[in-house]
Amino acid sequence: MTGRHPDLARGGTEMTESQSRSVGTAAVDQALADLSEGEKVWAGLSLAERGRLLDRVHELTVAHAQEWVDAAAGIKGLSAASPLRGEEWMSGPYAVATATALLSASVAKLARGESPLAGADFGTAPGGRTTVQVLPLSVYDRLLLSGFSAEVWLEPGVDGATARREAGLAQRDPSRTAGVGAVLGAGNITSIAPLDTLYELIAHNRVVALKLNPITDPLLPVLTKVLDPFIAIGAVRILTGGADVGSYLVQHDLVDHVHMTGSALTHDAIVFGTGEEGARRKAAGDPILDKEISSELGGVSPTVVLPGEWSRADIEFQAEHLATQRLHNNGYNCVASQVVVLSAQWPQREEFLAALRAAIDRAPARPAYYPGSDDRVAKATTTYPDAERLGGGARVLVSGLRPEQFPPLLETEYFAPVLGVIELPSTGAEFATQAAAVANEQFVGTLGVNVIAHPHTIRDLGGDFDAMLENLRYGTIAVNAWTGVGYLSAAATWGAFPGHTLEDVQSGIGIVHNALLIDRSERTVVRGPFRPSPRSLLHGEMSISPKPPWFVTNRTASTTGRLLTGFAGDPSWMRLPALFASALRG
């Protein structure tokens, strides 16, 4: 993305690349000079004043939500009538509206001398861990996400009293700022860049130079409006440009910290450089970057399907669920499921695969807007020439593999509509143990893993199921849900499993979101209902949730997403009837 920028032309003459670079670097210099002064203003603000800034961003997000969604849909080639616009509502303004509301509530508690975890529900998890319930947090959560829950598992040895005492992170001492942070925004999900900016400001007390991914440059006008309260005081500056501008920014003497969302290859280029010299530096542990970097880098996400006795309706719903895990945003998600892990001994294996094939094939068509998508699809079909082409040839399903054929699928993040299936020769508790081991040891990345299991299977496995969750080394684990629900849950943590290094970065270092400002978290575990309502109630699951609005086949997703965003801006019982009516028609 380092080519010329025709929009920078003067007097009808296109700028040369060197002129464009000069303009970009001058903009970086000015932005960082502004932020150096803005840090002083930020340091002088009280917690109450910071809370009011968050409240204003919350209001502006909802006020400009339609403009946001229109810009995002334009980038992704979605028509005004497409239900797929629901993805842009929910993963764009809705995510930022819910995050700002909860961050403001946490800052308000700190201003009153309370912990953000005052009143939180604590529990226990395998290995003697303490957990914090982060979903549901209100009666509205219990209604709108009925049957869904999430808990943050704290690091072993951290108890509830310690968590309450340490919550608040850098806002426990707001006058002690941490310099200037550079945030390199993502090009796929439009809430990532503003959410990462807010997390730098609040969790780390750093003012922010946000560099947009060139794919999302059309969002510049609306993001400038939404983040204006922080821009106005010099705490945020938004930059555009290609890789040359990003490189100049992260290496700048006035930048104290870098946070990026992207690929491990981009991370390594920033930290160690490129080519043979970059490889040598990485091997020697000799970075060229002279400051700390945090990152969220994706990976190859598995979905483990535990064998059980399923009805035909269960099979069709979960096949549609899995198709969504891959095809949401056309597969351009860092946590899109790429590989299904099945038991070769499951009697319903072929029936499930047939339903999965049909669900992928009938999912709505959409443009392959993300750069390089077609090349990555072609690479998958070259590696696996027997792969099936579905959805008019735009999607790829790889199945029937021998174990020696697994590695490319488990080690290459295709970031495209490519889904693979691998089978393990075991069942029951042995399969759960084997699947966890394969996910940990053979898959690249540790961002998210999904587990689909019939409630009876979970009950029958008992402690073996708990051990499986404990053993999975992933930052977010979703049971009968998609890990994307964890992304959308503002109080949940989001990031790789802790412990990665610059030399072996996997899915990254550090976390974001975490609106309760919890310290020393280890992972988030999300749970959802195995069946949608009303079948859930008929089978004893206490959930009234219909087909989730993030399903790619949800017919009213756009309307439901718009209504959810409005509700996030102004929660009210009066808004619920229309919301429920739209959700039920999905």
Is residue 424 assigned to a domain?
Answer: yes
pLDDT in tens, 267-310: 999 999 999 999 999 999 999 999 999 999 999 999 999 999 99
Hey, which residues does 340 pair with through a beta bridge?
303, 421
* 3-state SS assignment for residue 446: coil
pLDDT in tens, 468-512: 999 999 999 999 999 999 999 999 999 999 999 999 999 999 999
DSSP strands (E only) in 105-165: 122-125, 129-135, 149-154
Q: What is the pTM of this model?
A: 0.95
Is residue 431 assigned to a domain?
Answer: yes
* 3-state SS assignment for residue 182: strand
pLDDT in tens, 530-552: 999 999 998 999 999 999 999 99
Is residue 378 assigned to a domain?
Answer: yes
Going by their DSSP bridges, the two strands 395-398 and 388-390 should be labelled as antiparallel
| Residue closest to 196 by CA, chosen among 104, 259, 250, 247 | 259
Residue that wins the pLDDT comparison between 6 and 373: 373
Is residue 396 assigned to a domain?
Answer: yes
Phi/psi at 184 (nearest 5 deg)? -95, 110
The gap between the terminal CA atoms of the chain, to the nearest Å, is 38
Is residue 569 assigned to a domain?
Answer: no
Task: Using the predicted structure, report yes or no on whether residue 578 has a pLDDT greater than 90.
Answer: yes
* 3-state SS assignment for residue 113: coil
Is residue 336 assigned to a domain?
Answer: yes
Yes or no: say if 548 and 554 are a contact pair by the CB < 8 Å rule: yes
Count structural domains, the chain: 1
Task: Using the predicted structure, report yes or no on whether residue 13 has a pLDDT greater than 60.
Answer: no
What are 556's two structure tokens?
């009213």
Is residue 449 assigned to a domain?
Answer: yes
Question: What CATH number is attached to the domain comprising 371?
Answer: 3.40.309.10
Going by their DSSP bridges, the two strands 521-527 and 149-154 should be labelled as antiparallel
Rounded Cα distance between 39 and 175, Å, is 10
Mean of all residue pLDDT scores within the chain: 95
Residue carrying the six token digits 């040359």: 244
Rounded Cα distance between 253 and 585, Å, is 55
Yes or no: say if 32 and 255 are a contact pair by the CB < 8 Å rule: yes
Rounded Cα distance between 568 and 546, Å, is 20
Is residue 106 assigned to a domain?
Answer: no
Instruction: Please report which confidence band the pLDDT of residue 24 belongs to, taking 50, 70 and 90 as the band edges.
Output: confident
> In one letter, which amino acid is 263?
S
Instruction: Please report which confidence band the pLDDT of residue 557 belongs to, taking 50, 70 and 90 as the band edges.
Output: very high
What are 553's two structure tokens?
């086949």
Of 19-23, 194-198, 481-485, the range with the lowest mean pLDDT is 19-23
| Segment 454-476 mean pLDDT | 98
- Name the burial class of residue 451, with classes exposed (0-12), middle (13-18) and buried (19+) by CB atoms within 10 angstroms of its CB: buried
Rounded Cα distance between 88 and 554, Å, is 14
Residue carrying the six token digits 């450089």: 273
Task: Using the predicted structure, report yes or no on whether residue 20 has a pLDDT greater than 70.
Answer: no
* 3-state SS assignment for residue 496: coil
What is the domain range of residue 475?
A: 301-481
What are 444's two structure tokens?
């690249």
